[in-house]
Chain A
Amino acid sequence: MPHSLSIKNLFFSWSKQSEFALRIPNWQVETGKKIFLYGRSGEGKSTLLNLISGIENRYTGNIQVLGQDMAKLSQRKKDSFRANNIGIIFQQFNLLPYLSAQQNILLAQRFRRVSNTPQSDQLASICERLELSSHLLKQKAIELSVGQQQRVAVARALYGSPALIIADEPTSALDTQTREQFIQLLLDCAQSSTVIFVSHDMSLASHFDQQLGLAELQQQGSNIYVA
């Protein structure tokens, strides 16, 4: 089975003087797998996601996303690659407050090379699964409840069917029940995508195909497996 993500001999540090360093000797993620990546605060989980998505570029080693060596892409091409292939769900959902829910969902599509024409069938399908009514879609993001914002953020990440979905602690501000619902919703809707879900909350780990601790990943590579 081909790999959605392949990392070899990755080394990252903010500066020579910095105590923080991220070292991953070897890590492969199979296409379609749902990965739960956990670790303590400040360990480098978000930094790793930034490296994978081409947001942070100062590293040595090799990162291949969907078979593409990220180091070989210019910043412009990285932006384009991200727009076309990666869906991101942020910690705070990061919806633009002045846009409607629908405009937020369609925003990523605007930056994609493939097609700028909104795919109304896909939008309708995603919205139906996420229970986003047409009335709700017209509301400004700032007017939505936290739960509604979550669903819009998931819809934005899923719209356009990106091959890789990265979620950076999107449940950190949610209560236990809402957190469970959110994970279920995300995984249901992203069945055809590879998902890398970052969190320090181990109670969510059982929903995923693979659970990886960042500390162990840094020492030994992807042979770490928690059942």
Chain B
Amino acid sequence: MLLKLVLASLWSRRVMAILTCTSIGISMLVLIGVEHLRAEVKNNFERTVSGVDLIVGSRTSGINLLLFSVFKIGNPSNNLQWKSYQDIVNRKQVAWSVPLSMGDSHQGYSVIGTTDDYFEYFKYGDKQKILFEQGEAFKRLYEVVLGADVAKNMGYNINQSLVMSHGTGKVSFTHHDDHPFKVVGILDPTGTPADQSLYIPLQSIDILHQTQHVHDELLSDVPLGQTYKPQLSAFLLGSKSKIAVLRLQRDINQYAQEPLSAILPAMALRELWQIVGAVEISLRVISWLILATALICMTTMLLASMKERERELAVLRALGAKAHIIIFLIGAEALLLTLFGALAGYLLVTVGLLLGQPLLEQHFALYISPHVDLVAVGRFFLIAAGAAVLLSFVPAILAYKKSLLSGLKQ
């Protein structure tokens, strides 16, 4: 009966109730949205690279090296020499290496020159290997493997012929028309920037920039380091033992023949996240302030409505409603407004993510799951509900004290 009374009373003031719900819903949308984006972006960052002990590039900052080699953001400050690469990967502590050469693109997607070791050793998430959805790794000079998003967004299939362009911008005036590549493999989606790249043999990077025509050959017939000695943007290293990683890093950083930087991906990610962290904290503070403002607005609305409801509350009290019933009625009203608002906010976030996720993936290589963490949402709901109930005590107690006489005098 009491709940019916609350619902009926709210329905009689439905315009105000809907507006209040909307303001709480929008604040909850911001709060849940920011928290979800923060968690997802952090998760995306952390799952982008896994199982790689060191990333080595020409001397630059750790964050820059991480950004261009893993996230495909920015450019290397310089290339490193093939000889230096050979020198380092032949050390006894090194278990495996994956060379990376960048600088070309296809329709805005970056082209990475590498070896088939990339598909063997580069891992993401919880040490997950990159798998092939179709086809296999390149075996010949003019073969290309596509990241999942490239194939999906461009509508490419196996055996299709593609032309690479010089430079990394979306628009290029130099196309390597004389060296078309055949698609031989398409990768499974990983939800990382790896989905946004095309992979060609390292040898081909050199060929793309030559004027003379080179016949398509088996890669095994043109071994790296003999026919071709490409310059590298960076390379990934795996060491035989974890203990050796720090020593290897120090040795590379002190490498006398060429100024190089070696970074631990996890450390660089943490450093990067610390920079993003300040923005993250600001966003969280703003989100909570928005929610607090919405709840205070709701309390103000409840207080304002007390004037017009004096008679209603006075009648209830005259009929024998005790303090706890008046407090329950107003508290339940605040709680319902908050929960309906919060639910609306949650639904808006989910719908927004479902609609916006493909765009985020396409334009920012960010895979944001549309499934919001329900534990976090539940926590926000509880905090908002608790705050709403606490705040509702102010109008409730004032109403109880004031309602009888002033209400009946009207």
Q: What is the interface of chain A, defined by CB distance below 8 A to chain B?
A: 46, 50, 53, 55-56, 75-76, 79-80, 82-84, 88, 90, 92, 94-99, 103, 106-108, 110-112, 156, 168
Contact = CB atoms under 8 A, between A and B. Distances in A.
Interface residues of B, number: 25
B318 interface: yes
A96 B315 contact: yes
Given A90-B408, A108-B320, A98 B9 contact: yes
13 contacts: A50-B405, A75-B323, A79-B317, A83-B319, A90-B408, A96-B312, A96-B316, A97-B12, A106-B1, A107-B1, A111-B316, A112-B320, A156-B319
A95 B316 CA distance: 10
Q: Which 9 A-B pairs have the closest CB atoms?
A: A83-B320, A98-B12, A111-B320, A108-B319, A79-B322, A94-B315, A98-B8, A82-B320, A55-B404
Given A80-B322, A83-B320, A103 B311 contact: no
B28 to A, nearest CB: 27
Contacts of A80: 320, 322
Nearest to A113: B320
A110 B408 contact: no
Contact of A55 (B312, B318, B323): B318
Interface in B81-118: none
B289 interface: no
B9 A111 contact: no
Contacts of B408: 46, 50, 55, 90, 168
Interface of B: 1-2, 4-5, 8-9, 11-12, 311-312, 314-323, 325, 404-405, 408-409
B323 A99 contact: no
A156 B11 CA distance: 23
Contacts of B2: 110
B12 A76 contact: no
B318 A111 contact: no
A99 B2 CA distance: 12
Q: Of residues A55, A79, A107, A156, which shows the largest number of chain B Cβ atoms within 10 Å of its Cβ?
A: A79
A112 B397 CA distance: 21
Contacts of B311: 92, 94
B343 to A, nearest CB: 23
B170 to A, nearest CB: 60
Contacts of B322: 76, 79-80, 111
Contacts of A79: 317, 320-323
Contacts of A88: 318-319
B320 A76 contact: no
A79 B322 CA distance: 6
Contacts of A50: 404-405, 408
B8 A99 contact: yes
B319 A98 contact: no
B406 to A, nearest CB: 11
Contact of B318 (A76, A82, A106, A112): A82
